[in-house]
Every structure is written in C-alpha cells, then in structure tokens.
Structure 1
Amino acid sequence: MTVNHEEAASSEETCYTFIIQTGANIPSKDRTAKWNDGSMMLTINPGSEHESELIRVEEHFPTDTEGAVTVDFWLPANIGVPKLLKVDLESNMIEIIKDALYVRQITIVYDRQPYRFPIKNYIYPHNPMAGNPTTAEMGCPPHFLVREGAGTLKHLETEKFILDAREEDLDTLQSMVSWFKPGKNKTGLHPHPGFCGELHYSKLPRFLKFREATMKAFEGLRKPVREEVRGNILGNLMEKVIQTYHEKHFDSFENYEKYIRETSKNMGWSKEIVLESLKVAKVFRNDEEFGRQMLCSPNGLQISKVESLDERWAKGSVPAYAMEGKTVQGAIEEGRLFEINNDDLIGVGHGGKRSKELTGTKETWYVVLADCLLYQTDDGKVLPVQIRLENRNDGKPASFWSPPEPYKTDMDHQDHLSWLLAKMWFRCADSNVQVFCKHFARAHAINEVMAVAVYRNLPNAHPVFRLLQPHIQGIIPINVQARNVLINPGKNIVSSYLSGGDHFMKVLSNYYSRFTYQNLILPEEIKRRGVGEIPGYLFRDDILSYWEILGNYTRRMVDISYPSDKDVAMDTELHNVLKEVVEVGFRGFKDGAGFPTQISTKEKLVEYLTAIIVNVSVYHTAVNFQTFTNYAFVPNSPTYMTSPPPEQDQRVTMETILQGLPVEETTFITLAVCYVLGTYSPIERLYLGSTSENKLGMLGENMAVAPEQEECICLLVEEMRGLKGRIDRRNKGKFIKYDVIRPDNTPITTQI
C-alpha cells in the first residue's frame, strides 16, 4: 500500500499552545478584575495559503493586573510555523458597559518552540452583527496583525500575506496618528516643530493614553496646589476690597528656608526631595556653588569655552584678582575662560500680567539679558568672574559686575551684596531659558516630532519601531496635556511664576532659530563647545557615559536586524520617517534643522537612534528631575524679579535684594510646579529597576522580544549597573550629590 505523505500531513493535527498575556500596564492595587466582555479570536498566518481557522478563546482575561491565560488547540499541521497572528475581540454587550482590553503579548508554542508576538496595545471588541471592522474604533485599531520575533525589514520579506498585513497595520496607524495642520490653530511661532494633530488628551488613541496612572497621580498632586492658589487669590482680592492687602515679601533668606519646610509639611511632600533644596540654601552664596550649579544644574549644557570675547564684553573689565592674577587674554590662551549667555531672551518683553490676580498688586516681572564669564582655577574650580546685565526693554545700558576683592570677607559688605544680586539676576535669566528652551523645546517638542514620525511610518513589525517604542510612548500624551495646561498661550501656568511667561512663544522661537540636529549629537556638541576637559562637569561625564552605553546597545540591536549598510539604504519605511521629520516636523527650519533625509550606513543609523533615545530619556531627566532642588529656594535661582536690575555702581542693600525677590504667593507656585513636574510617575520604567524600592526596570516594557534582543537588553542593564556604581562611588561624602541621571533614577520615556 502506497502512503501519500502530503495528504497525510495535511490531514494531521498538532498542538498549538497560546499563552495570552493581558492586563493594562497600569497596575492596580485595589482590583483584580477580569475582562469578560466577549471573546478573543485568533488567526495564525492570516491571508496565507495555510491560514488557520478562526480560533475562539472564551477565557476571562486579567485587566487591572498583569496576568496570562494559557489555552491549547488542535490545528492542522500544514499551518506550519506561526509567522503572523491576527488578534480580534468580539462582544454582544452594549457599548456603554464594554471596554477595551490591553494585550501585552501572545506566545504560541509550536513544535516545542516558542514564537512571541509583542503587542503592547489596546483592542476594542466589535459587535459581531456589524461584521469585521477595518477602521479604528474607540481609539483602538480594529484588530492586531503582529509579526513574530525580532521584527523584520520590508525588503527582506518575501511572502505576500505578510507584506499585505504590514501595509494594513501602517494604514491603521496613520489614520490614528496625524500631524497638526498649520492654519487650523496658529501658534505664533516661526519656525516651530510639528506636533500631534489631536489637541485633547481624551481624544488620543488609546495606546497613547497609557499615562492614566500618571494622570491620576498628577491630578492628586495638582489638586491641593490649585486649591491653595485659589485660596490665595480669593484672600488677596478680599484684602484688596477692604484695603488691607500688603505684598507678602520675605524679610530674610532664612524665612525662605522656613517657608519651604512649612509648605512641604502642609502639602505632604517628600522630605528627601525637600532636603536637597535646603542643602542648596546653606551654600548658595558661595561662588564655588554657583560654578557647580552651572555645570550640574538643570541647564547643564549652556557653557562654552571662550576663544575670543565678542562685542558684548567690550565695556567690561574682569579684575586680575578674580583670575589668580591673569589677564583675560592670558586666561583665554590657557583655555580657562568660559561663557554662558542667555540670548534666547532677546526681544522678550517684561512679564507680570497675572501678578495682580495672584498677588493683588500689578508687578512688573523684569526680563533682563544676562551673561556670565567663568574662570577655571589652578585647583580645578569653576568660578564666576563677571556678569553682564542689560535691561534692553527699558533702554538701559549694560552693567558689569565682578566678585569682591579677596580681603573683603564680610558677606554683608556692599560689594558682596552687589555681586550676590548680579548672580541672582543671571540665575533668573538662566532659569527662564532652562524651562522654556532646554526643557520644553528640546526635551519635549523636538522629541514629539520623532515620536509622531515613527508612529506614522513604522509598522509594529519594524525592528526600529520595536526598539524605540518603549522610549517614545510617553512624549505625545504629556505634550498634548502641556499645550492645554502648562503652555497654553491663553492662560498658562508658566506665566504665573516665570518672568518670560507672558512671551514664552518668543523665547521658544529664538531657541528654534538656532537649533540643529547636531545639537543632539552630544559628543560632538560637547567638543564644539570646548568643554571636554573642565573638571567637575558631572552632567557631561554622566550623559556621555549614557551616550556610549546606549550607543553600544543600539549598535547591537541594529546589527541583529540590518545585515549590511545596503539594508539600511534599502529600508524605505525608515526613510519615510526621516523624510517626514524634515518635511513636516521641521518644516520652516533652515535645511530641516539639519536632520538627515537619507541614512545609508548602520553607523549613521546608530547615531540617529542613539540621539533620540538619549534625548527623550536621559537628557529630559537631567533637565526635569532636579528643578525643585535648584529652584525651590528662591534666592538661589529666582524665576522672576520685581525691581529693575541695579545700574552700574548703584548701592545695593539686603533690603534691595529682598524687595526684588518673588513674594510668598508666587514662591508657593514655584515650589508647587517644580515639585509636581519633578515627581516620578507611579508606573515609571527606569534603566535599572529595584525590587526593594518598587522601581520597574526596562526589560518588562520592551517590544524587542527575540532571545538575541533580550540578550542585548540584559547586557545594557549590566552596563547600567556599572554606571550606577561609578556614580555612587563618586558621590560618596559629597554634601550635594549629583545623581539625577543615575540609572535607577532615569526613566526610559518622558511622562512628565
């Protein structure tokens, strides 16, 4: 008897085991509910010659906490290796009570081999009577079409059913994520980066609303702040009516410290965070501390080596005693003179439009151009040696201020007070530039361009999407909310405590006019600034360590998916991202802000991807998560000043200083905003997790699930452990530690 092996094989059945992992990435401590709104329907290799039958799974799936359901099915053996999986939900329940299900991953075990399909997305159950949907519904894709394993490049796929699924997935994404169309709502910024077309958080696709836990925590922190501010406003208005209002100025630096302690206690803020700001209060008057903050503050990428002084310094004169007896030219020739300028404030008018509402009195919040020269001493300290102030809005000439002569040791001496006030004015300008330019413009708006372009042009199956998705998933939702709350031109929070808040669009425009892609390539940026050798520049040291570690990680991941440079050049989906970044994201910028429209080598691709990951995670952490430390004690870094800057040789007293500093109501707003924005999300994923501190690590959030990719992630984690150890050893015994971007403090995505 002759056996037809092909017929026998086609009639045989084999076991396919499905491990279905669900549960929102927002863990709940209070509930362990199950999704039982309907059925999950699975199809292996849909659209292929050996497409499986529709597999219906009737189990109840975990929703509030992560969990898994395992089911077995006998299916025809000729289905073969599961390469593509279609996932759908079906429900007969009425719309008002059914909900979407968050699916993390589905693993199929076939022939004793696991095939992993990463999803990390929500799906909404459709009504079976309405047929199989093809368009997004309730902020969710109609179904998932997921490629197995490490992800693939389009030009290396050969099977039509996989290519068709890839195109369908991309069409769905582009229907859900769009660019804002200029003309629909003018921003007043020219140029400005493109951003997401959906203007309200509630209307975003469900997969971009994963921040619900963050939102709840944010609102929990914001509510008492809002109530306190409202109480202050109402109280001030009432006092104004009965003519008993008086400005609540502080009468000493010590009372600012006391206010921080009392406010933080009343608001229930973390004592550990508050302690760091109180440490700054103890040493803020010292020039050495000023220099440390210029190198390790939230605005740590401002300083540049001086090759020659430009016209702005022509009328100034740095005393020789401030530079160990050297002349300016001598300090320049030795490479010891550095500069920080705040030109992003050019053309920005004074603020204070909201001061009457907040304080009961209309105040002018002065915007003054401020520049600083710093000198590196023989023992490696970096000290300020001259500050230039120019109240250009009021047509005043520039004034120049230098530290007192060494023999004047009384800190309350007139010369010390003048120097202290000049430093405050410089820090006021610096804080405005930091908030608007280095935090929002660079660490938020520019990153959103990358996120929108990636979501619109890379399907789930693309390895670069799987690499970047954990890092870019937070930036769009937080920016959408920021445009509604924090920087809404109509009534923004920043105008309630920053002198430049009334004209922040102009500040951003100034920054964008000079921004280029090369600014994101940190090793080159630091080299261009000439600051590679400054001792004690811990921001530089740590962020370059990240650049190396994340660059090596990215290189290993790229090597897995791109066999050669030729494959990079042939990746049309990748080049659609590059093209959209330039033509839409940076439309109006000179030469597309220098972003490449073509990448043809793996090395350049690694550089591009490393720049995105470092900027959206590490750089954002550096400029965001130590603002309370630096700004809470207001005299250290005032966010506005209510008296004009002193004119040259004007007598300065302690009363002069205190009368120009922010009053109690706006000091509260500064503290509150810095605390809220600097608080970690309850679902934060960090480069290093910690079981003892309940910190979630990077591995659980990744869509790169192939064994070789997970090996890369594990190696990355080990290198991060090494970096943490180096930072811990360096910080041992330090009065003020610089550990803001230690790997267990650094989120992998932007959530605040």
Structure 2
Amino acid sequence: MAVKNGETNGLSERAYTFIIQTGADIPTKHSTSKWSDGTMILTINPGSKTAESKPLKVHKNFPSMTEGAVTVDFWLPPNIGVPKLIKVDLESNKFELIKDALYVREITILYNRDPYRFPIKNFVYPHNPIRGNPTVAEMGCPPHFLVREGAGTLKHHETEDFIIKAREEDLEIIHSMVQWNDIEENPTDLLFPGFVGILEYDKLPRFLQFREAKLDAFNELRSAGLKEIRANVLDNLMNKILLRYKEERFESFEHYEMFLKLKSDEMGWSKEMIEETLKVAKIFRQDEEFGRQMLCGPNAMYIKKVTALDARWSGGTVPEHSLEGKSLSEVIAEGHLFEVNFDELIGVGHGGSLSKKLTGTKQIWYVVLADCLLYVRNDGKLVPVQIRLENRNDGEAPTWWGPPSPDISDLNRPVHLGWLYAKMWFRSADVNVYSLCTHFARAHAVNEVFAMACYRNLPNAHPIFRMLQPHIQGIIPVNVQARGVLINPGRNAISLFLSAGDNLSHLFNNYYKKFNYEDLILPLDVEKRGVGDIPEYLYRDDTLSHWNIISKYVSEMVHLSYLSDEDVVLDTEMQNAVKDAVDMGYRGFEDGAGFPRAISTREKLTEYLTAMVVNISVFHTAVNFQTFTSYAYPPNVPTCMAIPPPSQETEITMKLILECLPVMEITFIAMNVSYNLGQFSPVERFYLGHPAENRLGMLGENMAVSPEQEACIRRMEDRMRVFQAEVDTRNEGRYLKYDVLSPRNTPLTTQT
C-alpha cells in the first residue's frame, strides 16, 4: 500500500521501545537499591526542525547500585523516523532536598524492529523542575546528555546541523569540567607531566570518580592496614614513655617468612599470593633467580645490551669464573653481556625522615647508586656477574662485588654473604626506582595525560573516544588519590618505607629527563635496548604479544572510521587531542618528550593509539600485579637499608645484613602497600572475562557498539584466547609461573 501524508502502512503513530540500562556496579553486590529521586526525560533528535520528539517522561525506579534495565514504550508521530540523537535529562521531585545522581550505561531504542544503541557510561544529576534545566554542572555531573547513535562519527562526516551542534555542546560541557593543573600557581623547573587541576578526590566530576564498589573495596583494605600502622605507632610511643621500648628486628630470613604468614592470617590476605611470595623466599639467593627477576619482575624494562663498557665500569674486574672462561670482549662480541643502571637516583638524598615516628628510633635510609652487569650463560640462564655500588651522597668511593668461586660452597662464608649483600643493595635501588619511576611516573602519570587529552577533546560521539573509554576510565581518580596520599610531599606515605621517598620530585625529574614517546612503542624499545634474543625474557614476549594483538584491533577500528589518511588530517577533534597532550601534558619537556603534535596517516594514528592502550592496560599490569610476590619478602627486595653500604674491606656477616634490613613496622607497611596495590577491583574488566566471577571482558564495558565494531572486538578476543593458551602451556610445570600478562589477568585500564 502506498504511503501518503506522513502515514506508514496506515498508522498515524509508530512504536518506540526504550531499554534504559543503569547502575554503576556489577551484579551480585549486596545492595540492590533503586534510584527514585525524580523522572527521566528523553527527547529523540533534539534540535531537529523536522524530526524532534516531544519530551518523554519515564516515571520509573531505576537500578542504581547494581546494573539493571528498565523498559518503556511510547507512541510517537511518524515524522520522528530513525532515532539519530537522544537527549537524556533528569528532573527531581519538586520538593526533594536530598537526591543523588544516576549512572546511565546505555539506552537502546527499538524502532521498526531494529535496535539503535546510545552508549553513555556517565552520571547525570536531577535538576530542580522549579528552576528549570541548569546551565552549569551540578554535583559534578553534566546537566544532561546529548548522545549520538551507533558507532560514533567523525565531525566532518556529519551533515545535519542539529547533530553537529549537539556534539559541540557535549564537548564544551565535558571540556569545562576537565581542566589541566595551573602550572603558573606552582612554578617549578622540575619536570612532571600535566594532570587534572583538582586536588581532592571528592571534588572530581562524578564521571571521573571510581565506581562505588571499587572505592569501597579500596577503603576496606586501606583502613585495615592503617589501623595496624596506627596501633604500632601508639604502642611504640607508649613503650618509649615507659622506657620499655625495644626495636623489633628480625633474627633470621626464616623469621621474615613466619612474620609474612602471621600477618597474612591477621589481615586476611590471599593465601595464593602468600604462597608465591614464599616460593621466591626459598630461592632468592640463587643468581639464576636474581636474573629471572631482572627479566620477569615488576621492573623488567631496564635491562639493555652492552656494546661497549662505559667509564662507570673502569674500576672493577669481572671474576673470570663467572664468564665460563671467556673474556669480557668475547662476551660483548657474542652479544651476551647486559647491564642495568639506575641513574635516576643520582642526586637523590637519603630518606628516613619518618622512621622515628614509626619505629621509635631515628634511622637514615640510604640511597645508593647501583649498577649491575649480567651474562647469558651457555645454558641460557641470565646471571649477575658484577655489581657496582656508590654512596655518592656521603662522598664514598664506588665498591665492586662479584659472585664467589663455585669452589666455595658454604653459603655462610663472608664471600658469599658479601655477594648476597651487594645484590640486596642493588635490589633496594631497583625497588625505589620501580615504585616511583616505572610504576607511578610511567604507568600512572603518563596515562593521565592521555586520559585528560581524550576527555577534553573527543566528544562522546567520536568513535575513537568510544573505543578508548574502557581504557581511560579509572586513571585520573587513582592518580588524584595518589597525589593526595602516596606522593604528596607534605604527607608522603611512600617515605614510610622507601629510602628515596623523601625526595620524590628530584627522582621524577631524573626519570622524565630521559623519558620519550618512543619508550611507549614497545617493539622499538626492545630493538633500542638490544634485548630481542635474551632467552626466557617473558616480559618482552608477553608485552609484544599484547602489542601485536591490540595493534591489529586498533588498526581495524581506525579503518572503520577513517576511510583515508585525509580523514585523519581533517579530524580536528583528534588533532586537538594529540596537540593538547603535548602542549599541556608535556609542558617544559624538551621537544614535548618526542610526542607528535599532529598525526597525518592512519598508520601513525594506529601506532599512537596502540601505545596509549598498551601503556594504560598491559604495561601497568606488568609492573603492578606482581608487586607483592616480589617485594613482600624484604631479604629479596629491601625497600630501605638502615646502615651505610659496606666498604670494600668490610667483612659481611649475617648479623650485619639483618641489622641493615627493614624492622618489623617498616616491613609490615611495605607488605600492606604492595598487597593493596596488587588487588583487582571488584568492577575490573579484562581482555578475557570470567562471567562466573563477574570479571567481564571488553564487550561488557565498551562504548563501541556497532556490529562492525563488536566484530573487531570479538576477533581481538579470539586472538587473545590463542595467546592465553600459549601462556598456559608455557607455564605448565614451572616452579614460578609468569602469568601476570595472561589476557584473563590483564585489566583494561589503570585503577591501582
């Protein structure tokens, strides 16, 4: 039958079914409360002169704590047609004084039996109906949402004015709520990337805060640890007053193991994590284990090939027996000599300013420069062959340490204990650089620059924002909390257990003087460090596997939206994001730390986005989620050293080693912090999800919702499953598994 006068098959109105998905947390939360603080108001195609619907009021109670959905139907005139844009607003009850925002995940409209999906993933706050819709954000929420349907679009591909204006309004609202820190208020010559200009977590916009389940879990862990620390401090203070104080030191390495088990029972820590740590404790003295941790530990990206020894090595001699009868020149020519240097510690003073408050005794925690040469033996094992220590802060000359002859089998001989002690000093430098440079400076602060640039320049309607949203969420709030507690120079929790904790700014500055965009391009980084052939370098293998899989996925997503390189050039929103990251994120860095100020090809855009996603998810996972296993047992990695480093003539005894290692109070703090940081969030999403555990994968969180985009995600997940099987096979029978980068263990974003 012919269609006349706007009628469709004789119908004067058409049915529109709205499926409204709300709720910020995963199912099975103990609370199932409903949001009932007002009315949701929906408008289809707002601003269109011919296809705008009337405001549709939804008087329902919406799931708020747990994820759920509400379905409602409306009859609308046929001129509305296909829903291309919706406006989502909340109106509070007229006399409601106490109200809350509502997290809206997605709205799907069924029209003509076809689904039209509008991903949102944001909070909206109900406005007062007497005052009308506010023009400024309330309670850290946008006043309303204007959401484009489907895959998202590039701005220059849009042809309808009402959609372009809505896109610009959406971006302007978010841009006004996400501002960079004002560098003029706190001028400094020390390098540090830009960050959000909000100092307190509670003052962040709601969409930049954690979901409640994550925050609740973090606070529970944190409060339990703080309660124990406060009890220790008060007990020490009382005993000092009563003249009964006695510093609690460990009597043996086994005593550390017993203490770890005791605290795990008291604190309810995971026995599986404790077991892995105790496995390390059994073998940490072995040179092969030392080498394994250089390749597979949390700080595995510092090792590089030696092509020529620089001046720092001129004062020492590598023991002949450690190179299996070869000369240094032969080993270098073979490409089997490597080194690790921690020059980031140059100029960083000793710590321990808060040691008396915690332990009852004033201590100096020594910051010592440390370098290590490592050799790949004929059996493929990487082992240390020389360690250089320099207490430059106190003007001491370097000392040189090497492995004892295999003829000396007694591990309690001074020569063995001296080598063990040197390795401990090196690992102490390692954990200080790891904690502040690798973990926070690289895996947190750099990621915040990416998140800030995306939120400020890419509207909800942008397809790349929708692809990136699962990755950039969580970064800003965890960094705000860290700047408030962990790395705040005024109340710096890091200084409670790290030797370098009193001098954060200088350490960050040293790191960022060398930091460059190319560090994030992992295949290039492996090539530059010359480490492509080291056997059993599992960090390298697994990060490159992730890189290849994610790069292919990103390339597919880029090619869906950008039909040519010209589209990349014409995408002013993406170009603004790239430029904002350099101009505001790397202000003061030489040449913007090498980051591009513009991108002109799909290939380079794919590289840039891959570097972003991999650093946010994969790199952070590699350095964060095995912290407890490596660092919770102080003889393996001492976070601070309480007596000066030895001279070359010092006779090393077990008594000397135990006096240098952290006491009980400091040991507990290091254990507690590393345990808290290594926990997955209750709302964490992973590359490969576990539906039975509510650890859902990318499709559970993504804003890329078109069938073509979801097909890209599924292909990526298929590749991840193949990779997962390879990791599982490789780990069979291993004493210590390396599965931190298994796709089912790799979260999508930086949340801890």
Give the 3 Å change call, closer, same or farther, for CA 98–28 of structure 1 in structure 2: farther
Mapped to 1, the partners of 2:484 and 2:189 lie a distance apart of 16
1:374 match: 374
Mapped to 2, the partners of 1:640 and 1:134 lie a distance apart of 53
Give the 3 Å change call, closer, same or farther, for CA 721–7 of structure 1 in structure 2: closer
Contact 1:28 1:64 survives alignment (8 Å) = no
Contact 1:189 1:506 survives alignment (8 Å) = no
Mapped to 1, the partners of 2:702 and 2:712 lie a distance apart of 12
1:196 match: 196
Q: Secondary structure at the match of 1:129?
A: coil
1:81 CA displacement = 1.2
Contact 2:351 2:503 survives alignment (8 Å) = yes
1:315 CA displacement = 0.6
2:573 match: 573
1:697 match: 697
Contact 2:19 2:71 survives alignment (8 Å) = yes
2:57 match: 56
Contact 1:192 1:509 survives alignment (8 Å) = yes
Q: Secondary structure at the match of 1:507?
A: helix
**Runs (4+) of structure 1 moved beyond 6 Å?**
none
- 2:406 equivalent to 1:406: yes
Question: Which amino acid in 2 is paired with 1:111?
Answer: N
Contact 1:556 1:712 survives alignment (8 Å) = yes
Mapped to 2, the partners of 1:601 and 1:622 lie a distance apart of 30
Contact 2:7 2:78 survives alignment (8 Å) = no
1:132 CA displacement = 2.4
Contact 2:190 2:506 survives alignment (8 Å) = no
- 2:115 equivalent to 1:114: yes
Q: Secondary structure at the match of 1:128?
A: coil
Give the 3 Å change call, closer, same or farther, for CA 7–338 of structure 1 in structure 2: closer
Q: Secondary structure at the match of 1:511?
A: helix
1:312 match: 312
- 2:37 equivalent to 1:37: yes
Mapped to 2, the partners of 1:563 and 1:235 lie a distance apart of 68
2:554 match: 554
Question: Which amino acid in 2 is paired with 1:122?
Answer: F
Which string of whole-angstrom CA distances, capped at 9 and with x for unpartnered residues, describes residues 490-529 of structure 1? 1211100000000011111100111010000000001000
1:8 CA displacement = 4.6
1:421-570 to 2 correspondences below 5 Å: 421-570=421-570
Mapped to 2, the partners of 1:636 and 1:627 lie a distance apart of 12
Contact 1:342 1:369 survives alignment (8 Å) = yes
2:419 match: 419
Mapped to 2, the partners of 1:480 and 1:598 lie a distance apart of 28
Mapped to 2, the partners of 1:209 and 1:558 lie a distance apart of 28
Question: Which amino acid in 2 is paired with 1:58?
Answer: H
1:696 CA displacement = 2.4
2:660 match: 660
Is there any run of 5+ residues in structure 2 with no aligned partner, and where? none
2:222 match: 222
Mapped to 1, the partners of 2:563 and 2:335 lie a distance apart of 45
1:243 CA displacement = 2.5
2:280 match: 280
Mapped to 1, the partners of 2:77 and 2:210 lie a distance apart of 38
Which string of whole-angstrom CA distances, capped at 9 and with x for unpartnered residues, describes residues 141-180 of structure 1? 1111000000000011111001000110011001111111
Mapped to 2, the partners of 1:695 and 1:8 lie a distance apart of 48
Which string of whole-angstrom CA distances, capped at 9 and with x for unpartnered residues, describes residues 316-355 of structure 1? 1112210111111111100000000000000000000000
Mapped to 1, the partners of 2:723 and 2:397 lie a distance apart of 48
Mapped to 2, the partners of 1:444 and 1:26 lie a distance apart of 25
Q: Secondary structure at the match of 1:666?
A: helix
Contact 1:211 1:751 survives alignment (8 Å) = no
Q: Secondary structure at the match of 2:130?
A: helix
1:29 CA displacement = 2.5
Mapped to 2, the partners of 1:637 and 1:228 lie a distance apart of 22
Structure 1 stretch displaced more, 63-72 or 294-303: 63-72
1:65-80 to 2 correspondences below 5 Å: 65-80=66-81
Question: Which amino acid in 2 is paired with 1:330?
Answer: E
Give the 3 Å change call, closer, same or farther, for CA 722–11 of structure 1 in structure 2: closer
Q: Secondary structure at the match of 1:74?
A: strand
Give the 3 Å change call, closer, same or farther, for CA 102–5 of structure 1 in structure 2: same
1:4 CA displacement = 9.1
Structure 1 stretch displaced more, 95-104 or 731-740: 95-104
Structure 1 stretch displaced more, 625-634 or 67-76: 67-76
Question: Which amino acid in 1 is paired with 2:47?
Answer: G
1:189 CA displacement = 6.2
- 2:106 equivalent to 1:105: yes
- 2:260 equivalent to 1:298: no
1:175 match: 176
Mapped to 2, the partners of 1:360 and 1:59 lie a distance apart of 59
Mapped to 1, the partners of 2:528 and 2:503 lie a distance apart of 30
Give the 3 Å change call, closer, same or farther, for CA 224–34 of structure 1 in structure 2: closer
Mapped to 2, the partners of 1:622 and 1:535 lie a distance apart of 18
Give the 3 Å change call, closer, same or farther, for CA 552–739 of structure 1 in structure 2: same
2:598 match: 598
- 2:4 equivalent to 1:5: yes
Question: Which amino acid in 2 is paired with 1:714?
Answer: R
1:17 CA displacement = 1.4
- 2:141 equivalent to 1:143: no
CA RMSD of aligned residues (A): 1.5
Mapped to 2, the partners of 1:174 and 1:323 lie a distance apart of 59
1:636 match: 636
1:156 match: 157
Mapped to 2, the partners of 1:30 and 1:530 lie a distance apart of 51
1:693 CA displacement = 3.8
Question: Which amino acid in 2 is paired with 1:697?
Answer: G
1:705-720 to 2 correspondences below 5 Å: 705-720=705-720
Q: Secondary structure at the match of 1:130?
A: coil
1:33 CA displacement = 2.2
1:209 match: 209
Report the count of equivalent residues.
Answer: 750
Contact 2:191 2:508 survives alignment (8 Å) = no
Q: Secondary structure at the match of 2:224?
A: helix
Q: Give the percent of matched residue pairs that are identical in Structure 1 and Structure 2.
A: 62
Question: Which amino acid in 2 is paired with 1:302?
Answer: Y
Give the 3 Å change call, closer, same or farther, for CA 123–396 of structure 1 in structure 2: same
Which string of whole-angstrom CA distances, capped at 9 and with x for unpartnered residues, describes residues 522-570 of structure 1? 0000100000110000000000000001111111111111111110111
Mapped to 1, the partners of 2:130 and 2:94 lie a distance apart of 11
1:314 CA displacement = 0.5
1:82 match: 83
1:26 CA displacement = 5.1
Q: Secondary structure at the match of 1:82?
A: coil
Question: Which amino acid in 1 is paired with 2:413?
Answer: H
Mapped to 2, the partners of 1:379 and 1:657 lie a distance apart of 31
- 2:617 equivalent to 1:622: no
TM-score normalised by L of structure 1? 0.98
Q: Secondary structure at the match of 1:512?
A: helix
2:584 match: 584
